[in-house]
Amino acid sequence: MHVDYLKELKQNNAGRAGLITLVLILFLVLIGPVLSTHSPTEHSVATLEPPSAVHWLGTNDVGQDVLSRLLAGARTSLLVAAGTAFLSVSLGAMVGIISALAGGITDRILMRFTDAILTIPAVVVIIMIAAYIRPGVFNLIIILSALGWPVGARVIRAQALTLKERLHIYAARSFGGGMLQILFHHMIPDLTPVLCVSFIQGARRAVFMEAGLAFVGVVDPNLISWGVMLRHALEYCYLDAYKWWLLPTGFALSVTILAFTLLGYCLEELTDPRLRRWDNA
């Protein structure tokens, strides 16, 4: 009955690639302050310089060290991703589990609301909200989560509904286990795989949206972000600077999104029995 997810994850090529890449990015973010010899915001007169021993990835239009900004941007991306994923999964889990356990009218009202938010084109609405409040990291997490939780809520509710009918939950209830006891000792542990999938997919969406919003130019102007870097680099795309400024930034962003995608696909395949490759064809 029980599947050793970690072991299977290690055996899955896509999952392994995604996991290793993410760990690598995380490592770079952690040692970033040591690695970057320049402050990411420090201006200098050496503008648009090609890569050299001093500036490994050259400098941008106002003489800032591109590598330092790239590392600082990674920190922003991962911070927003982790924060948004955590907040929206928590919200989604709360709504999903309450909906599944309560049933009846509570379920109907919560799911109606969830479906309504799912139909809203999130990117457009988020651009509009962000245009007014110009969010930094904290507000970005709040806005992205406010529109991001329904996806998880639906999946978690479906899973919680089947769990509710399982024998061990019945057994726990017949022994007099209260609502909270059942929730924390039996439901949440069994929901962990689904929560993980929601977390990774939420993180992936957040990385993409944060970069998108920054590219559009609706975030806090002081935020150091890959999207902001791409936006500025595009203005200088007719110069050679794109080779060390635009391309590394874009590829860093793509690789991060890809790592989350691969890990997400793989986890989904492991946790959804319908997608498990039982016939290995």
Residues that bind another protein (CB under 8 A): 14, 112-113, 115-125, 127-129, 131-132, 208, 211-212, 215-218, 230, 234, 237-238, 242, 246-247, 250, 253-255, 257-258, 261-262, 265, 281
Q: Shortest gap between Cβ of 188 and another protein (angstroms)?
A: 29
Between CA 147 and CA 144 the distance in angstroms is: 6
The nearest distance, CB 104 to another protein, in angstroms, is 16
Q: Which of 213, 89, 112, 100 is nearest to 159 (CA)?
A: 100
What minimum distance in Å lies between the beta carbon of 147 and another protein? 10
Q: Output the CA–CA distances (angstroms, integers) from residue 203 to 9, 52, 83, 160, 162, in the order listed.
A: 18, 34, 8, 22, 26
Q: Which is nearer to another protein, 182 or 262 (CB)?
A: 262
* Residues with Cβ within 8 Å of residue 63, at least 6 apart in sequence: 43, 44, 45, 46, 47, 49
The least CB distance from residue 146 to another protein, in Å, is 11
For another protein, give the closer residue by CB, 17 or 82. 17
* Closest CB 134 distance from another protein, rounded Å: 11
Nearer to another protein, 193 or 212 (CB): 212
CA dist 139 → 84, 145, 223 (Å): 10, 10, 12
Per the listing, tokens 């709360």 go with 94
Query: Measured from the CB atom, is 156 or 233 closer to another protein?
Result: 233
SS (H, E, C) 129-165: HHHHHCCCHHHHHHHHHHHHHHHHHHHHHHHHHHHHC
Rounded to a whole number of angstroms, the minimum distance from the CB of residue 259 to another protein is 8
Q: Which two tokens stand for residue 195?
A: 């929560």
Which tokens sit at 226? Answer: 């890959």
Nearer to another protein, 182 or 266 (CB): 266
Which two tokens mark 273? 């029995």
Nearest to another protein of 5, 113 (CB atom): 113
